[in-house]
Structure 1
């Protein structure tokens, strides 16, 4: 994995998180970061408080501090991802920039009003971009906004979102397949549709979703199939809904298991907030039996502390398709489960999770499948 980046003429050591992932072709910055920093170096050297949205691994935060020879610049990084925030802190320290003024905010925080430049890495999720632009539309003073992304991911609809929420945008030429978008805040006070709510089929529940949560408008087909294979009964199990998203799997499990305690875990601040809202709104009497945790999978969980882990693992990290997050989930689930505890997952059939679980646990059985998905169960042996 390449870790040496040259951004704005400065050589930085930048690590992608999690640190032990095996895909050596992935790196912690891209050509959009390079293009954006080069533009800042040429056009905005005097910016003193820069707001950065969606800085995946801290590359922009590190580069912005490295460019500032006066060491007085403040960078506020606004991010939905716990992993991204941890990577930012790590990379700042790695490049001896941890003493600089850097503030990390999660995606449901209020934005600072005293910024003089706003930078955006275009997120994969168009609804999340609209949510962020709606926040920028509340600014009472005009602030330059510069967004960056892969040219193929900047669509006409992307530009329409900018013009709707803030000022009419213009775009740069493409360089290394990346492009910049130029706009500014205009105090339009536009709101967006998020969070949204929708009825959960075959139940009396209503599900709330914040903007950056997977399958925002209905139950996704994987969760729908997994719902047929959830545990039930009166055992007082300690259960983890790992990668919980809006918490719909844990919600349905809680309804079927009156004595269970469930911990909802996701690296997304919006996912954890959605899961908590869905318990509060649908099963408020069970809220005391729940915990809601933002974490990098199960990194901070005690060993041998859970009876059952339920999981619908992702096979991507932002725009990168990769199975390292699933593998991390499986490894850490084994560590967190008690002897005799179970990991129950759903996955696309072509991903061959069965082989991975057999290798890790020494056992695995299919408890349900259709043409697209397989539900697997594996047990931690003593």
Structure 2
């Protein structure tokens, strides 16, 4: 893995996060980062911007944007905005690795209000366009002029509908010519602009249950139940009164919420690395089962790092198989190891998975056995028990 990042005469060592992964040929930066940074350094060097105001960095995946800006301007104040706890952990780790001033960075999650003023905004276009619209609405209330905003993405991700979203939210927007398979956007802010409006969070009924699910903008399956979770709901475990269950990678909380319906005495932890997911799960419980809210804990966490060993009876999980735009098995592998650690002897992990993924072999090697409880054309339900 290449960890040596050089741009504009600055040399950094940057690592993807977590570091013990199967990213053999991948870097912690890409051409989008380089395009944004080149434009930002030119803008900052022109003395047209006030360095007394912070630079706002949105969706910095592993800290390449933040690290290089602070390497060039150590006194710069940065505001790092991300929905992902893992992305912020990666940025902090890379700042420390390069002995850069972490105290210069204000860390905001995706639901925190933006600062009232800033010199410049660097934005990688997020994968979810509902989340992009949410971020543009926030920016629209704060931006004073169009040249404050530097936006870039891979050329294949910039299309008519994306430009229309920028146009409708901020003002007329055009895309540059392609540079190394990337393009940047130029926006002329409309004046006056309409007050920002947001469709998020969205509430929707889970059919045939009487439950209401709530999704913030960056939460998977925003207005209907995804087919994997739908299959899992047909095969939830039978739990005992006052057992402790974890909904790992909880999203909007549908698995833990449904387990609570079946056993109102259950203690449930909803855990996700996304700030919006944790907030969505809490709203889902509050709207559907408000009397049981005190039995629930909601935690933004990298896996289950904050949970004690051998402390739970069940872990339910619909594991992801990608990190941002990269297909990978390391997230699921980490979830399985965390589940084994926190389960009591006799405790069980139950998952839903695409049947082509090698999760059965991984669970069998880790737990010493795995059972297939159900299968269909696309998905399987697998369960493993911690034996000691």
Please, what TM-score do these two structures have when normalized by structure 2?
0.95
Structure 2 unaligned regions, length at least 5: none
Measured after TM superposition, the shift of residue 98 of structure 1 is: 2.5
Report the more deviating stretch, 278-287 or 186-195: 186-195
Q: Distance in 1 between matches of 2:232 and 2:261?
A: 15
CA contact (8 A) 1:200 1:207 kept: yes
Equivalent residues in 2 for 1:188-227 (5 A)? 188-227=194-233
2:141 pairs with one of 126, 138, 141: 138
Q: Which residue in the other structure is 2:327 paired with?
A: 321
Q: Which residue in the other structure is 1:61 paired with?
A: 66
Measured after TM superposition, the shift of residue 347 of structure 1 is: 0.2
Structure 1 residues 119-154: Cα deviation after superposition (integer angstroms, max 9, x where no partner): 110111011000000111112633521111111111
1:230 pairs with one of 222, 233, 236: 236
Structure 1 residues 227-247: Cα deviation after superposition (integer angstroms, max 9, x where no partner): 011123443211100000000
Q: Distance in 2 between matches of 1:342 and 1:4?
A: 42
Q: Which residue in the other structure is 1:170 paired with?
A: 174
Q: Distance in 2 between matches of 1:374 and 1:8?
A: 50
Q: Which residue in the other structure is 1:38 paired with?
A: 38
Measured after TM superposition, the shift of residue 118 of structure 1 is: 1.0
Q: Which residue in the other structure is 1:119 paired with?
A: 122
Q: Distance in 2 between matches of 1:287 and 1:363?
A: 35
Structure 1 residues 46-100: Cα deviation after superposition (integer angstroms, max 9, x where no partner): 44221111011111011111222xx331110110000011111111111111255
Secondary structure of the residue that 1:23 maps to in structure 2?
coil
Measured after TM superposition, the shift of residue 184 of structure 1 is: 5.3
Count how many residue pairs are aligned between Structure 1 and Structure 2: 380
Q: Which residue in the other structure is 2:252 paired with?
A: 246
CA contact (8 A) 1:231 1:257 kept: no
Secondary structure of the residue that 2:305 maps to in structure 1?
coil
Secondary structure of the residue that 1:377 maps to in structure 2?
strand
Structure 1 residues 30-56: Cα deviation after superposition (integer angstroms, max 9, x where no partner): 110011111112233344221111011
Q: Distance in 1 between matches of 2:239 and 2:331?
A: 30
Q: Distance in 1 between matches of 2:156 and 2:302?
A: 29
CA contact (8 A) 2:40 2:122 kept: no
Q: Distance in 2 between matches of 1:50 and 1:96?
A: 20
Q: Distance in 2 between matches of 1:146 and 1:58?
A: 17
Secondary structure of the residue that 1:163 maps to in structure 2?
helix
Equivalent residues in 2 for 1:52-91 (5 A)? 52-68=57-73, 71-91=74-94
Q: Distance in 2 between matches of 1:183 and 1:20?
A: 40
Q: Which residue in the other structure is 1:17 paired with?
A: 17
Q: Distance in 1 between matches of 2:72 and 2:174?
A: 25
Q: Distance in 2 between matches of 1:213 and 1:338?
A: 30
Secondary structure of the residue that 1:88 maps to in structure 2?
helix
Supply the RMSD in Å over aligned alpha carbons. Answer: 1.4
Structure 1 unaligned regions, length at least 5: none
Q: Distance in 2 between matches of 1:151 and 1:7?
A: 21
